[in-house]
Amino acid sequence: MRCLLFGCGLLNSEFGIINVYLKRLFGIQGPDWLTNRKLVIPSIAMLSIWWGLGGNMVLFLAGLQGISASYYEAAQIDGASKFRQFWHITLPLLSPTTFFATIMSIIGSFQVFDQSFVMTGGGPAKASYTIVYHIYQLAFVDFTFGKSAAAAVILFAMILTLTLIQMYMSKRWVHYGG
């Protein structure tokens, strides 16, 4: 029953919205999204992208509104096409927003728990068993809090390392224009 609160209503193999439309529009039987070992992670990833899309859209909208119209006016006077304006003005000035959204999305992808806990319980056969789910299992099922804390520190170190690498690499492509 708790499954209906999240994506199971979309991905249920018998009465899920996606499979119903696959049957109605194309006449094909949809796959078992959450019970097939090969499809469970892509299904959870697809749902996570859908959930995070709204927040990223708000970020990019704010980034677009922060670009001064004077850049585009000057480019039009110089005869730049819409494509060149997008390529040389919009993309470079959106690079800080893109950088922030990328870092936050990658950090969020490392912290997937609720989707696999609620929709699959880590299954089938631990195919959707994530590191945060493992931390949960160690702490609240096995009651081995030391191992759970150690796994959480390892997760923190992984996220920190990846973020520092991204920060270093961002010097090449993130431009803070005035």
State pLDDT tens for residues 80-134. Answer: 999 999 999 999 999 999 999 999 999 999 999 988 898 888 888 899 999 999 9
Mean pLDDT on 122-151 = 94
Which pLDDT tens digit goes with each residue over 66-81?
999 999 999 999 999 9
Q: What whole-number distance in Å separates Cα of residue 29 and Cα of residue 92?
A: 45
Mean pLDDT on 15-24 = 88
DSSP-derived 3-state class of residue 8: helix
Q: In terms of DSSP H, where are the helices of the chain?
A: 8-11, 17-21, 40-65, 69-77, 82-85, 91-110, 114-119, 131-136, 145-169
Average pLDDT, the chain: 90
Instruction: Decide: residue 143, CB within 10 A, 0-12 exposed, 13-18 middle, 19+ buried.
Output: exposed
pTM above threshold 0.85? no
Q: Over pLDDT 90: what percentage of the chain?
A: 65
DSSP string, 30-59: PP-TTT-TTTHHHHHHHHHHHHHHHHHHHH
pLDDT for the residue 108: 92
Question: Around 70, how many Cα atoms within 13 Å sit in the side-chain half-sphere?
Answer: 3
pLDDT for the residue 1: 42
pLDDT for the residue 74: 96
Residues with Cβ within 8 Å of residue 123, at least 6 apart in sequence: 35, 40, 129
Residue 178: pLDDT band (50, 70, 90) is low
pLDDT for the residue 155: 97
Mean pLDDT on 146-169 = 96
